[in-house]
Structure 1
Amino acid sequence: MRKNKLVLAIIFLLIIIGFLWISINSFATERDLAKEQQLGKKLSIDIEKKYEVVEDLNQNLSITEIGNKLAKASELEGMKYHFKILKIDGPNAFSIPGGYIYVTYDLFDYIQSDDELAGILAHEIAHIIHNHALKQTRDNTKYNLLTILAVLLTREPDVALLGKLTTITFLNQYSRDYEEEADLTAIDLSIKVGYNPVGFLTYLERQYTREMFKPSVDLGIFQTHPDTKDRVAYVKETLEEKGIEIDKRATTNYLKVNIKYIYERSFCTGTIYIDNISILNLSFPKNHEIYLKMIEATQNLDKFLTVDLSPYEINIFIEGTTSTLLIRNDKIISLDDSETALLNKSSREVLSETKDKIRRALWEFKLSQPF
């Protein structure tokens, strides 16, 4: 009796092992990179017939160089990536199975750094790494991944199935889980290659601002897709968890600081700007030490100015006839009354005006970028 029970137990165990082996084997063969690339090539031909491929040497070199660095870090062996620019209105990017990634030409007027471009390309590469397009098609149909590939690679593919795949990829109609997985993978890829992942955050924030001011524009955000506001929130949270400093000026041209000089006879006038707002204007004799002070002040302002700076963090310290402009206790510039005499103002008056103008520049920036 015991012997029979033992035999039955062994048989049962073998059956379980058999099922597990079949499941593991099925999972391992769930993906066929060769067929994915074959499908990608087929789809790319149709896309490039419909939309003009832009042959811009500089921009193509840019997406290819950045894209290939990220692709190499993806560690998806056997996948060859292709990066191309399409002439389609509006800033956008999308990917299709088989390693094909497209960006619109308008995107280059929208991004502000290589770090932002890297974040966008990393996001599309992530969709390919995780096979999201075919998985989303599977989720929306009754087919498994290999069946979808087989059907789409026939001479006359299922039109409805092809339509679903095209809609998913071209309009970024991914589920919340897939989109979040692509966002978080994009952060890891950017870090791995050496690009600042804050660039992906600043791009998403600007996209969110665009949606706020242009609610009628369909950006491919559907009910099953996470709102850009939510994406901004969890991307920012992830960066903070990784201990990454969120310096948004490092990946953008936000609050751009510069200096200009005008020379007249024996005098020079220097003006420091934040964006297009003049915040400090001084006139002084040529070769005067104020010239170097203005340069140092520009460098300090560029170093210590941040997008989240609060008005109360900009102060003036006065000691005798000398006034010092401070941002979060960091010195920007010190001026003596003798150095502002040509303006018929005390150093305190001049730097008080500068403080107010910095606050104005910050206010105008926050009005334009309400994230």
Structure 2
Amino acid sequence: YDIDLEKETDLKALDIMQKAGYNNVGLLTYLERMRVERLKQLYVKGIDIRYKSGFKPLETVLDTMKFIKPRDDNRKPTDPVQTDMIRANTDMEERVGAVLDYFQENDIEIRRKYVLNILIPNVKEVTGKSVLTLDDTVVMKGEEWGGSPSDFEVYKERLNRDLQLETPQYDIQVQSFNGAKALLLSGRPLIYEKDIPDGSPGLSHIRNMIIKALTDARRENFLTDYYE
């Protein structure tokens, strides 16, 4: 076994998927998920590996390894960590890094949400009103349900196009655009203040709900660096 062979296989798989017309971002999200599942199998006494903002679980585990006593052949193992699992996790880091390099070198934009089927906008009826949601988060509501395409459908399409798992929060802004106050996603207007339906909160609230949905979606894979 050689990690270089694993990475070579991954890169060839990316090429095959691309030529066959498949979304090869799926291989990246698979490896990222495997990295999380491997980490779940690690157990270090006293170490909390749950998600925390800015916290790097794998690095913490590896640092802890420095202070664990070696195995005594005449006694039960004193090492609470499966060292082969530590090595496997390090290998997964390398494989993910190699795939990310592939996308960067080939100028391929990474859009994970279409593979993972999360952060997906939807318009539905709730008590006679149109409601715009992102996964389980209500983003906007208040327009009378008409049973036909409405402004909410337009907002849905804009959200689906302009909001990605990789979108930084600073690209979701309330500011002036073409002389009017609007909520912008990556520089494009989602909705103008004057177009907010009666009964729906203002632009700042809509922005906060979008950021909440984005944060919740990212939490599904807490080891992924969406800005790489």
> Is the pair's TM-score, using the shorter chain for normalization, greater than 0.5?
yes
SS at match of 1:247: coil
Distance in 2, matches of 1:223 and 1:329, equals: 43
Distance in 2, matches of 1:224 and 1:209, equals: 12
Residue 30 of structure 2 is matched in structure 1 by 203
Distance in 1, matches of 2:141 and 2:28, equals: 35
Among residues 206, 210, 213, which one is paired with 1:354 in the alignment?
206
Larger Rg: 1
| 2:2 matches 1:175 | yes
Q: Structure 1: any 5+ residue segments left out of the alignment?
A: 1-173
Equivalent pairs, count: 184
Change (3 A) 1:327 1:191: same
Distance in 2, matches of 1:223 and 1:311, equals: 34
Change (3 A) 1:285 1:245: closer
Q: CA deviation at 1:285?
A: 6.9
Residue 215 of structure 2 is matched in structure 1 by 363
| 2:131 matches 1:271 | yes
Change (3 A) 1:176 1:312: same
Residue 258 of structure 1 is matched in structure 2 by 122
Residue 282 of structure 1 is matched in structure 2 by 142
Residue 190 of structure 1 is matched in structure 2 by 17
Residue 192 of structure 2 is matched in structure 1 by 334
Residue 112 of structure 2 is matched in structure 1 by 248
Aligned residue runs from structure 1 range 221-240, under 5 A = 223=87, 227-240=91-104
> Is the Cα–Cα contact under 8 Å of residues 175 and 225 in structure 1 kept in the other structure?
no
> Is the Cα–Cα contact under 8 Å of residues 179 and 226 in structure 1 kept in the other structure?
no
Deviations 1:130-175 (A, max 9, x none): xxxxxxxxxxxxxxxxxxxxxxxxxxxxxxxxxxxxxxxxxxxx32
Change (3 A) 1:352 1:188: same
Q: CA deviation at 1:293?
A: 0.9
Q: CA deviation at 1:187?
A: 1.0
Q: Percent identity?
A: 26
Q: CA deviation at 1:270?
A: 1.2
Residue 12 of structure 1 is matched in structure 2 by none
Alignment root-mean-square deviation, CA:
2.9
Q: Which fold has the larger relative contact order, with Cα–Cα distance below 8 Å and residues 6 or more apart in sequence?
A: 2
Q: CA deviation at 1:322?
A: 6.1
> Is the Cα–Cα contact under 8 Å of residues 270 and 283 in structure 1 kept in the other structure?
yes
Distance in 1, matches of 2:173 and 2:101, equals: 31
Distance in 2, matches of 1:196 and 1:285, equals: 35
Q: CA deviation at 1:305?
A: 0.7
Q: Structure 2: any 5+ residue segments left out of the alignment?
A: 44-80
Distance in 1, matches of 2:90 and 2:180, equals: 54
Deviations 1:185-217 (A, max 9, x none): 111111121112111001111111222334259
Residue 212 of structure 1 is matched in structure 2 by 39
> Is the Cα–Cα contact under 8 Å of residues 42 and 85 in structure 2 kept in the other structure?
no
Distance in 2, matches of 1:285 and 1:191, equals: 42
Distance in 2, matches of 1:184 and 1:287, equals: 47
Distance in 2, matches of 1:359 and 1:221, equals: 35
> Is the Cα–Cα contact under 8 Å of residues 176 and 225 in structure 1 kept in the other structure?
no
Q: CA deviation at 1:299?
A: 0.6
> Is the Cα–Cα contact under 8 Å of residues 324 and 331 in structure 1 kept in the other structure?
yes
> Is the Cα–Cα contact under 8 Å of residues 293 and 333 in structure 1 kept in the other structure?
no
User: TM-score, normalising length from structure 1?
Assistant: 0.44
Q: 1 or 2, which has the higher helix percentage?
A: 1
SS at match of 1:258: strand
